[in-house]
Structure 1
């Protein structure tokens, strides 16, 4: 019970169908694990609407999400975690970030680092792809990579932004403007890492 916070399922044609996904997520909830779902990556399968129905914290991928799924996620407060590196590597189309944001869905971005579809954990690169290929602004990409990313993990009360009372988990970067994090790609701009107020040495 105390080893996991979330129960995640890959709801997709050829993998877990809607009913199986619902059963898995509801079973996880019964054990105190909040639901998360990988959905609509390959087909508009209905996973986004299922995420809303089960009260999922987030729905990930969403390359094929439709308008009904977007509306359901918005109404239920589900975070859309988009994975730009997967779309870049597999070349199978990008999630409709602009439609999600314009509809009022909170959007996070993540790497989905794994050996099969995205062998990169570079968040600045994910921001670059989000801006150049998914029509997100630098401000939106930065928020998606920080505060909304924390929200997708139920950590936004303590992490994700610089506010009084939150953890001092910070990256100090050497850039003339925050937009350079996405604009000057392929470069590590981090000069200091601070974890809970302590400067880390590497």
Structure 2
């Protein structure tokens, strides 16, 4: 929706949009800007913080009815935990208890994918549990298609950044896009509001 709005407000601008989960080389591959979640792997890049995000562990109501709701991080060991290929610790999920204790849980799963949307679809089909950012799953949480697991625990706090190469300051059009994203996501971004709405509806703690 934001890209469509930007194009509508800036007639004559053309965007060549690439959707990819892998890390890219901005200079070698000719990108003006990259929107990336997490800590930039290349410290030489200039990063502008756009918004917060966080990971959640979720599963479908059907999966949780068949396999039970995990009550503790250790319970994840007996579940089918689907892995994200670009995370080095895809078979070790980190969960922080309400009092701050970090637990590192070794997990196994029947599927590893290099695309978050593929994992989301698998979770919706009842294949297993996934870790995904709130912006990817907020609509599913709100609709009850996915249910949060271990809702009183913290999985991981993330940040959405706009990245560009040093010495190659964004042109006016790129700066305008970055500014629009930062403004739209300022304060509490819409995916966090949606996630909190789901929590108030009681969808985090039980499968329906």
**What TM-score do you get using the length of structure 1 for normalisation?**
0.33
Query: Given the two structures, how large is their TM-score scaled by the length of structure 2?
Result: 0.32
Name the larger-Rg structure: 2
Higher relative contact order (CA 8 A, sep 6+): 2
More strand by share: 2
